[in-house]
Amino acid sequence: MTYTLNKEEIESISNGSHGDPFSVLGFHNIKQGKSEKLVLRVFRPEAKLVFVKIGNTKPVELQRVSPEGLFEYVFPRRKNPAPYSLSIKPHSGEEFEINDAYAFDRMIADFDLQLWGEGNHKKAYEFMGAHPKEVDGVKGIHFVVSAPSATRVSVVGPFNNWDGRVHRMRKYHDQGLWEIFIPQVTQGDEYKYEIKSPVQDPPLLKADPFAFYAQLRPETASKVFDIEGYNWNDDEWVKSREERQALDKPLSVYEVHAGSWRKKVGGDSEYLSYRELAHELVPYVKDLGYTHIELLPIAEHPYDPSWGYQITGYYAPTSRFGTPHDFMYFVDECHKAGIGVIVDWVPAHFAKDDHGLRRFDGTGLYEHEDARQGEHKDWGTCIFNFGRTEVHNFLISNALYWCDKFHIDGLRVDAVASMLYLDYSREEGEWIPNKYGGRENIEAIDFLRKFNDSVHEHFPGTITFAEESTSWGGVSRPTQTGGLGFDYKWNMGWMNDTLAYIEKDPLYRKYHQGELTFSLIYAFSENFTLPFSHDEVVHMKNSMLAKMPGDDWQKFANLRLLYTYMYAHPGKKLLFMGCEFGQWAEWSESKSLDWHLLNWEQHQGVQKVIRDLNSLAKTEKALYENDFDWRGFEWIDFNDADNSIVSFVRRAKDTGDFLITVLNFTPTVHYEYQVGVPEACEYEIIMNSDSEYYGGSNVGDTVLKAVPGEWQNQKASIKLTVPPLAGVILKPKK
């Protein structure tokens, strides 16, 4: 029997080793003797018989070429290819009709190829991954993946019995991209990429790095999902975002782990969905007066105790809580309630799971090959190679994707310090210096600047945060002046010093006054956010309430005092869920918050303090307009260490709009305590954390009259009763 292919070609198609199946399968012109013929070749391993139908012509049976399922038919008279369909009669089951994936030509635009090759594609998600398309009246899914070192890449799933020989992709050799359009695949279908690597014999089975949706763990396949089609209702919010999120506007963030904020009634094993969170979490946050919700990483991750920081699906909102459209609904409801949404974003490292990015095409496509650059031993993760164009395309596009498709208002970049330093958490000999012999990661620095510039250019008003724990300069300064370009930097120094101070017995605090006041030496060197985050209430660090010294009364008083100090201090605010009502237990991702504690007045009191502080933080310009300028802060007295009392002024841009804060870090009540004030007028106490309304002892004044006369470098002074373990905020009555 005569075939149009030689033995080697037949074998390579039949066993799946052929590197360019589009050169063999589908329509092709061949020479037979002196004449040109048109041949159609099809590989269907499940088929007993295959028929081809062109237009209204009678179906024609193809000839079997190999036992594995290669078929062909040479048309005796037809010269030109034409649209066709296939009828498959399987070895078992009903006959069915399909369109052939090898009937379709290249679909990636030249412009996309150019940008990808340059490493400058900022919206690669628009063509990478799995996208529903209609081509010549045929509906299907267009798959595109990057695997430059692979010798073969196939799309596998239930639609082809997970057989990597059936839908082998076309390679763009210059860019390392692979593509195929598969007609019979549709919304919800599971799939993976089967990747044959020259450095590894068994093929790899990988989830799609650009997948928009994934199976619920422990399953690991990607799922086809049409990311378009959600009807947004937040135009008003988006249009006003740039103004709402300006540096001189209030910013108070409620940090949330979506899986443990509240569990469904009936057990800790069931999550609230995105839509249920929209109906329960959003009203709660609005009632407390927060301006933003920050979600711990919401991208797909396989391991619950990683809290989302070890990601396998950067483009897929985790399926634990619903679909991507469900997550859009959550964001939409936040915006309709006037609440912004920030998500934690993790470009520093990624999970090592076999189905993820690690050694994606058999080589270090996304990570460094050398473990001295490519592995975080502390976290058991891989480090992105920021020198690769594929990594820039992947991560920059991912940042913009969350802003574009999900209307995210801010990105908080995790573990920035680990990106900036090549010797981060490494001993001598465990790291490789940069080309100048230094410890700075030059490629990562360039990447962070590109990330910030891209986000701010494409989505004006969107804000970025750096969790950066070192003294690196210019983190929140523009890239044009040599900075990294973030809008905000987490003030880890303030957090550590403040907690170290507040955890001490009040008897000894007078010896550590500097820990409390040191932050004002550098408070305006960056645009700081003051964070009491999830990291401070896990791993035997105790909850915020349990950190406080003394008996129960003193613990609650200390916590209310701490929050009053936090809100009066320059900088934007962030508090982790559960801290707002004084949870006793450390946070656990596997359990719901202890909501029953709100049956007790003391816990209600802490929550009331937060609600009222958030209200002040939004209505009093002195508490937010000049957060990053010395003109917004003035010490009155930081020298009274013996009494552990500090006092200061906060000013709005209008210098006549100011507040006075007095903080007493001991349980001693001070009567007739004299404090300097800028003006001789009446002062109203607008916050007293010792009020009985909050569960305090109700010591203190309500209205005070200042008298002229210089005191503590101020023009006037007042004498007030300073309550125990409490903060008071005074406002001039004009």
CA distances, 346 to each of 113, 310, 414 (Å): 26, 8, 5
Spatial separation of the C-alpha atoms in residues 535 and 177, rounded to whole Å? 39
Assess contact for 207 and 192: CB atoms under 8 A. Answer: yes
For helices 274-288 and 324-336, what crossing angle results, to 10°? 20
What H or E segment, with its residue span, contains residue 611?
A: helix 601-619
Beta bridge partners of 214: 222
> Which residues does 298 contact at the CB level (< 8 Å), separation at least 6?
258, 308, 317, 318, 327, 343, 344
Q: Is 440 a catalytic residue?
A: no
Q: Is 414 a catalytic residue?
A: yes
Spatial separation of the C-alpha atoms in residues 91 and 48, rounded to whole Å? 5
CB-CB neighbours of 297 under 10 Å: 22
Of the residues 163, 375, 467, 612, only one is catalytic, namely: 467
Phi, psi of 394, rounded to the nearest 5 degrees: -70, -50
CB-CB neighbours of 388 under 10 Å: 18
Return the residue matching tokens 């552990």.
644
Listing from the earlier edge strand, what are the strands of the sheet with 177-182? 129-135, 138-146, 177-182, 170-172
Of the residues 112, 208, 414, 487, only one is catalytic, namely: 414
DSSP secondary structure of 127-193: TSEEEEEEETTEEEEEEEEE-TT-SEEEEESGGGTT-TTTSBPEEETTTTEEEEEETT--TT-EEEE
* 678: three-class secondary structure by DSSP: coil
CA 585 to chain centre: 26
Assess contact for 439 and 423: CB atoms under 8 A. Answer: yes
Spatial separation of the C-alpha atoms in residues 121 and 389, rounded to whole Å? 9
Give the type of residue at 702.
T
Phi, psi of 389, rounded to the nearest 5 degrees: -65, -35
Return the residue matching tokens 């891209």.
454
Q: Looking at the annotation, which residues are catalytic? A: 414, 467
